[in-house]
Amino acid sequence: MNTEISLSLNNLTVDYPGYKGSGTTAVKDVSFSISKGKVLGLVGESGAGKTSIARAITRQLVEPGEITGGEIFFEDKDIVTMSQKDLKSYLGSQISLIVPNPKSELDPLLTIGRQLGDVVRTHLKLSKSETKQAVLDVLEAVQIPDHNSRFSAYPHELSGGMAQRVIIAMSLICNPKFVISDDATSGLDVTVQREIMKLMQKIIKEKNLSVLFITRDIGLAAHFCDHLGLLFRGQIVELAPINEFFKNPIHPYSLALLSAFSHSAKWRKVYSTDPEKWSKEFFKDGNVPNSLIEVDEGHLVRMEK
Amino acid sequence: MKVLYLYCKDRPLIGFGYFFVFFLVILAIFADLICPWPPQTANPDDYLQAPSWRHLFGTDETGMDIFSRCIYSIRLDLSIAFLGTAVSAIVGTAIGALVGYYEARGRLKTVFSSFTMRALDVIQSFPVFVFAIALVAIFGQGLYSIIAAIAFVNMPIYVRLMRTQALSIRQMRYVEAAYLSGLSDVRLIIKHIVPNSMGPILSHLSVNVGWSVLLAAALSFAGAGVEAPTPEWGSMIAVGFKNIVTGQWWPSTFPGIVLGLTVFSFALIGASVEVLADPVRRRAAIAKY
Amino acid sequence: MALLRYIGRRLLFVLPQLFGIVAVSFFLLKMIPGDPALLMLGPLASQEAIDEIRSVMGLDKSLIEQFIIYLERVLSGDLGTSWQTTKPVMEDLLKRFPATMELVTLSLLFALIIGIPIGILASLLKKSIINKFSTYYGLLAGSLPDFWLGLIFIFVFYTILGWAAAPMGRLDLGILPPTVVSGSYFIDSLIAGDWETFGNVVAHLTLPVLTLGLINAGPIIKMTQSTMDRLLESDHIRYARSCGLGEFQIVRRAFRNSLPSVLTIVSVLYSFLIGGAVLVEIVFSWGGAGQYALSGVLNADINPVMGFVVWSAILCLVLYLIVDLLYFAIDPRLRD
Ligand SMILES: Nc1ncnc2c1ncn2[C@@H]1O[C@H](COP(=O)(O)OP(=O)(O)O)[C@@H](O)[C@H]1O
Ligand SMILES: [Mg+2]
């Protein structure tokens, strides 16, 4: 395989089986790959299956979800079939996850210093004082003001933005190679959101991270992704390098999304499409064409052959 | 009924619970036909006989047949438990509905609510069992005192359950609407609040019946309940107490087993009602079918 | 500082409750039919004694005045005399409560020692036998009468096997109790360093503690299991998992978070057992406070009953206060 690739999904499928066989397939046949040092943006509306993909990669799906097909390669190792022990040694140290709603994701009973320290000590064999130093360093790196005293703060004492920085710190502390960011800014105020994005951008560049950047906001993705994938009802409908995506969007859903997010009338016009035409074909259940077709180099669109 | 059958099919033990209670009721009704010996007649020639075909569960120190006494006890113990539970559920639910409905609704009503809740706190800070015994001591020993004591110590649970329900239901649109349309408080409670909050109450009832059987037996065992020679499991165990150290195990063991199985069956039924009264869990439980 | 404020707020609730307890016990006393003076002094009392207690209690005065007199007496620690033991109830209770508390405390410790691991394992191993076992154990333990189980244990371990000490109190007849420090023989014999007595105390404690412990492990298992179930599915535990923390760490975090619920159920059981252990006390002739109160009830000796009721209600309040402090220690969110 190509050594340049950091993570790749091959036909990943995730199911949530329900009663009487009435389950949902949240992710269908999703394939993409992320090269080392690159950022892939994954955009989709709420319920599209973004979180399911993120959790599938870490094999932490919420009950009753399960991976029912496909492979997830991280540096030539298939995460899906990996032993629990191997998986644990990757999670947090090589692959890490940034989650939304940071306040409910932190243990309310432990100080953040302790929680960060636990992660460090699980993966790196450091002494007590080295651990503490590592924690303080990473808190400083995510620009937490007054980080010496925040070391012994409890999660409930932090604001939402601060807690998000702690989560980012948590994901960076072991110098991972690959970071998944799932809707990292969704619960925050706009100004805080911007600060967090700036911080992430800086860190990604500095550390040359490979990132799967999941968001609902295509504008946000435009800012610092190298590639962009559009997810709809568990399927990728269009996947392209970022410039290509904005210059030459093909799938009607991409067009609709772009026009909805465009700030100026001019752009709205560029992206406009005849809603009548695709809404009928496209939104009817079961009428999503089943193959991705490469229309240009690296530009895949789901359409009829 | 069908749901219940499906539910029990995979859980034979729960099925056993329903079966056993049904079986007990049948035994209690036909006790006169089934029992080989009169339950209260001492037979000095036959005292402390080990279990045999003549006396299935043996006899106690006065020669009374333990098998027959165990069966006659069903009548008394179940009646006490059912009555005690019914009284506490009815009174407790009524108070709970009022308390929940009145909370933060004008001065006097609020005072009533918070006073009742504080009173419950106080009552519940007394040790249940001794409180029950003290009640029996005050009212004098007898059937009605036991029932009253059981009803009294169980009541706070119903008040609390119902209050929580009433608090949430009274915020529903249709209740607000009924309130604004000038329906009187009492009628509103009876028409809307009580019928819509029976779920948790029902699932508690069955557990509570079992628990009341246990409490009745415990009171009798302590000597503050039903007195020998009236057939009652707790007092039978107490009578056999002296004999167990010297090796005659049967006068205490058998009534204890029947008592335990009875309470266990009610607990099983309660566990199933808890699941079946909740639509989501009910669906999950019988998903296969 | 936050701690003081927290305690202060708790006391604000506790004090009215204490008052309520005394009030309720007073009115219970008033509800008893018959001459209260006679009830307090017993059937053999002389006329002078009856007249004297009448004036002490102010039975000729109004209800409110009587209540105030009662309140003053209770506050000064005067709970009357028991005509059965002819001693002040306060003195009797101070001797007997340690026996009850020792039994209840050790039983609950035992219940915790078996209940928590089983609950945790049942929650971790969803499809295992231990999971099924714990579900039905909880129901069964709640259904067995503890006094009956005690009898069965006596029959098996004393009558047949001869392993256990005689079910006749806290010590063999020939052995003198240790010097009183706490009143608990278990603790006092340890303090005295008297190993022979200690061994005997333990021998006598074994069966009753086993009885109460096995029964009360049921609710502890159930509570541990259900909270652990909830927590292992919670956001922060899932997040900790996706940070690659080891299984031991995960379980430790989940357990720490479920401690408040476990603590709650323990406090409920504890307050129930202060009075509820009385039947097991009877079975093992334990001579505890519950047994003392019960014999008061059965012999129309009212002061021990009221004394016991007031005392155990107060003990419950103290218990809840301690539990609140433990919540405070566990959960930083309560600290501000
Ligand atoms: N715990 C669950 N149980 C059942 N279905 C679920 C569960 N979580 C998610 N789903 C289903 O999977 C789909 C995708 O959800 P999710 O991955 O959370 O989407 P997104 O993160 O894009 O909003 C949803 O439509 C939902 O129906
Ligand atoms: Mg999501």
Name the residue among B70, B59, B72, B68 with its Cα closest to residue B243.
Answer: B59
Q: Which residues of B touch A20 (CB under 8 A)?
A: 287
Asked, for residue C319, whether it belongs to a domain, the answer is no
Assigned domain for A136 exists: no
**Would the CB atoms of C297 and B134 count as touching at under 8 Å?**
yes
Determine the structural domain holding residue C157 and report its residue range.
Answer: 99-290
Residue to mutate among A86, A97, A106, A118, with most C CBs inside 10 A, is A118
**pTM for the model:** 0.86
* Residue to test with chain B: of C29, C149, C151, C153, most B Cβ within 10 A: C151
A123 found inside a domain: no
Percent of chain A whose predicted confidence (pLDDT) is above 70: 88
Within a domain: A282:
yes
Q: Examine residue A113 and state whether it is found in any structural domain, yes or no.
A: no
**Cα–Cα distances in Å, from A134 out to A137, A140, A167, C336?**
5, 10, 15, 29
Q: What end-to-end distance do the CA atoms of chain B give, in Å? A: 15
| Spatial contact of A227 and A7, defined as CB atoms under 8 Å apart | no
Q: How many CA atoms lie within 13 A of B131 on its CB side?
A: 25
User: Which tokens belong to A114?
Assistant: 């302790």
Residue C285 inside a domain? The answer is yes
| Section B124-130 average pLDDT | 77
The rounded distance, in Å, linking the Cα atoms of A201 and A41 is 13
A19 contacts on B by Cβ (under 8 Å): 283-284, 287
Residue C215 domain-assigned (yes or no): yes
Chain A hits for C256, CB-CB cut-off 8 Å, are: 109-110
Domain hosting residue A89, numbered range: 2-94+174-302
DSSP SS3 for B72: helix
Kindly tell me if the per-residue pLDDT of A284 is higher than 60. no
- CATH number, position C197: 1.10.3720
pLDDT in tens, A12-26: 999 998 766 678 889
> Computed from CA positions of residues B128, B133, B136, B137, in that sequence, does the dihedral angle turn out positive or negative?
negative
User: In sequence order, what are the residues at sequence separation of 6 or more whose Cβ sits closer than 8 angstroms to the Cβ of residue A108?
Assistant: A154, A155, A156, C236, C257, C331, C332, C333
Q: How many domains does chain C have?
A: 1
- Decide the pairing of beta strands A77-78 and A66-74: antiparallel
> Cβ distance A72 to A256 under 8 Å?
no
Mean pLDDT, chain A, whole residue set: 86
Residue A97 Cα to ligand 2 middle (Å): 13
pLDDT value of position A270: 60
Let me know: does C158 contact C164? Beta carbons within 8 Å: yes
Contacts of B154 (CB under 8 A, 6+ apart): B84, B85, B88, B89, B92, B208, B211, B212
Instruction: Provide the b/e sequence for A31-54 (b: ≥16 CB within 10 Å).
Output: bbbbbbbbbbbbbbeeebbbbbbb
Q: Do C331 and A110 touch (CB under 8 A)?
A: no
CB within 8 Å: A92 and C238: no
Which of A16, A58, A66, A235 to probe ligand 1 with, by most ligand atoms within 8 A of CB? Answer: A16
Contact C331 A123 (CB under 8 A): no
What local confidence, expressed as pLDDT, does residue B36 receive? 75
Of all protein residues, the one whose alpha carbon is nearest to atom 21 of ligand 1 is A51
Name residues with Cβ closer than 5 Å to ligand 2, which is an ion: A 51
Domain assignment present for A194: yes
Residues 5-44 of A with CB under 8 A from B: 19-20
The Cα-based distances of B223 to A246, B212, C84, C172 in angstroms read: 87, 16, 18, 27
User: What are the tens digits of pLDDT across the range B2-24?
Assistant: 777 777 777 788 888 899 999 88
Q: Is residue C168 domain-resident?
A: yes
Ligand 1 pocket member A24 (CB < 6 A): yes
Q: Is A23 a member of any domain?
A: yes
CA B248-B249-B250 angle, 5° bins = 100
Residue C189 lies in a domain: yes
B256 and C21 within 8 Å at the Cβ level: the answer is no
Give residue-wise pLDDT tens across range B47-96. Answer: 767 777 776 777 777 777 778 888 888 889 899 999 999 999 999 999 98
Distances (CA, A) of A130 to A121, A123, A137, C167: 10, 13, 10, 59
- Residue B265 reports pLDDT greater than 50: yes
Tokens of C250: 């995960």
With a cut of 70, which residues of chain C have pLDDT below it?
34
Distance A16 CA to ligand 1 centre (A): 8
pLDDT the model gives residue B239:
83
Residue B76 burial (CB count, 10 A): 20
Place of tokens 């009815």: B90
CATH code where residue A11 lies: 3.40.50.300
Atom of ligand 1 nearest to the CA of A45: 22
In a domain, A155, yes or no: no
Two tokens at C96? 């007997």
Dist CA B274 CA C226 (whole Å)? 15
Classify residue C195: in a domain, yes or no.
Answer: yes
Assess contact for A30 and A12: CB atoms under 8 A: yes
C235·A105 Cβ contact <8 A: yes
Q: What is the pLDDT of residues B149-178, one digit of tens each?
A: 899 889 998 998 888 888 888 777 787 788
Between CA C211 and CA C147 the distance in angstroms is: 8
Q: What is the C-alpha to C-alpha distance for residues A55 and B280, in angstroms, rounded to an integer?
A: 25
Residue A264: which pLDDT band, with cuts at 50, 70 and 90?
low
| Residue A1 pLDDT | 44
Q: Element (H or E) spanning B53, and its range?
A: none
Counting one residue from chain B and one from chain C, the pairs whose CB atoms sit within 8 A come to 154
Q: How many domains does chain A have?
A: 1
Q: What is the ipTM of this complex?
A: 0.87
Counting every residue, how long is chain A?
A: 305
What band does A268 get if pLDDT is binned at 50, 70 and 90?
Answer: low
User: What secondary structure does DSSP assign to B157-225, as a single string?
Assistant: HHHHHHHHHHHHHTTSHHHHHHHHTT--HHHHIIIIITGGGHHHHHHHHHHHHHHHHHHHHHHHHHTSS
Residue of B125, B146, B227, B243 best to disrupt the C interface, most CBs of C under 10 A:
B125
C257 in a structural domain? yes
DSSP state of C335: G
Q: What length does chain C have?
A: 336
